Amino acid sequence: MLDLKDHDATSLAALVARGELSATELLDDALEKVDILNPKLNAIVMIREDIARKAIAAGLPDGPFRGVPFLLKDLGAEAVDYPSNNGSHLFANTCYPRDSAIFERMQDTGVVTFARTTSPEAGIGPATESAVYGGPTRNPWDLTRTSGGSSGGSGAAVAAGLVPLAHGSDGGGSVRIPASSCGLFGFKATRARFPDGPFVGEGWAGMAIDGFLSRSVRDTAAMMDACEGPDAGAPYVAPPLNQGYLAAIAHPPKRLRIGLCETTFVGAPIHTDCRAAVTHAGKVLEDLGHHVAPMRPQADHNGMMDAWTKIVACGTALTVRNGLAAKGRGLQQGDIEGIAKGAMTYAETISGADYLAAVGTIHAYGREMAAAFDTCDIILSATLAEPPAKVGRFAHNREDYVTFRTGEGGVFDYSPFCAVFNASGQPAASVPLFQSAGGLPIGVHLAAAFGEDETLIALCSELEAADPWFDRRPPLFA
């Protein structure tokens, strides 16, 4: 195997451009690492080596990642050459008649896509343990822990060094949770920054968006630059960028007002290691000259979580209904797991008026969170309230969907920060600045006002330079 530990995707592409490595050598290396490590991780599925080799032979686009091995999340990113399971037996081996806009833009960067990565059924949950993959996806830092969800396969694959960069998506933290769990950088852009079409009009009332898992800020910045902008007919668009993500990280941002929250946004305590991560990040930011002061955003956080849970239940029910309609039959034993069944049952109790009221609650919450940035430029918190959870804690073999989400010890207790910014549409990122006393990654969460993506990613880049994380690697990376 090649020793590529010192290279991110940008650096690998530079080696290919100089002729020091070939796309074929990088693909061979990635496939060899998958053969060795994937049985332990269960992160990569539906390998299409033949398609990858044909793409190399045909000539790759001359983009920023020309020749770099790449993975698609097994949820969304529809592509003719890459069928998907969408994390579910019901959708196993689903084929698509055309490529999605986001897939076309990713391919134009010159990446060599060769497989998909695991995700939980319907993208629900902070762990990736879908039955269609035969078992849980595990964290390369500790195989007894989850790699996160719903982009858990991508997080595990990048953290273990199988690829330097992978696709994900984020409807309630699904990029940032794996980033925190696996010691990676994950960025959720402003609502509608990337295209959803043509297969989806919007995800979860506008709360879901594509994203990426990487070991460096510049890799994510370059891929987001390549993918940003609406597709034709998009129902709404994000405010235009001033210069782009890569240009934004070329210089530090102005000195910013940082609002530091050491608890959850409703004032509940978080794990001591997570609180220590926030304190550490605050000190680093102060040393960089930013103004750091305690704050807690005042908004109806519990009301938002209730509305989010209703919207996602309805979205899950619609997805299952469409899957059954495509098969021309009713639901059968083994089609879906317990949490999806529970979501469907809950959705049956939600009227059309109830659904619209939930969307209205989310929109009102977005306005409350917009006001939170009147007194600060950045909200700093932990990404998760605890270190990465043990495998099995968020398994889908139960049907109490609402308790799973909002009950004691449930998803929102574990991940109380991320969904806030899906609901508000504001940009947010998880930065791997800290580790627990036991050596597990602990992400720090940074969020900015709507449309202020460039300020946020410039700050992330400044933190990367001040407190580097690139050389922190899990045991499986070696």
- Residue range 378-385: mean pLDDT, rounded: 98
Q: What is the C-alpha to C-alpha distance for residues 258 and 290, in angstroms, rounded to an integer?
A: 7
Stretch 441-455: mean pLDDT:
98
Q: Show the tokens assigned to 418.
A: 């991320």
Q: Is 150 a catalytic residue?
A: yes
- 438 burial level (CB within 10 Å; 0-12, 13-18, 19+): exposed
- Enter the pTM of the model: 0.98
Handedness of CA 375, 376, 382, 383 (dihedral sign): positive
pLDDT of residue 478: 64
Sequence ranges of the domains in the chain = 9-477
Q: Is 119 a catalytic residue?
A: no
Considering the candidates 84, 88, 100, 150, report the single residue annotated as catalytic: 150
| Number of other CB atoms surrounding residue 57 within 10 Å | 10
Residue range 178-200: mean pLDDT, rounded:
97
Coil/strand/helix, residue 361: helix
pLDDT score for 1: 82
Determine the 3-state secondary structure of 173 from DSSP.
coil
Q: Indicate which residue of 33, 73, 310, 341 is catalytic.
A: 73
Q: What is the pLDDT of residues 132-151, one digit of tens each?
A: 999 999 999 999 999 999 99
Residue-wise pLDDT for 414-426, tens only, equals 999 999 999 999 9
Percent residues over pLDDT 70 in the chain: 100
Q: Which of 174, 181, 381, 436 is catalytic?
A: 174
Is 33 assigned a catalytic role?
no
d(CA 429, CA 458): 11
Is 14 a residue whose pLDDT tops 80?
yes
**Parallel, antiparallel, or unpaired for β 165-170 and 209-214?**
antiparallel
42: left (phi over 0), alpha (psi -120 to 50) or beta: left
Whether the pLDDT of residue 474 is over 90: the answer is: yes
Strand partners, 142: 139
CATH number 3.10.105.10 is the correct assignment for the domain at 9-477: no
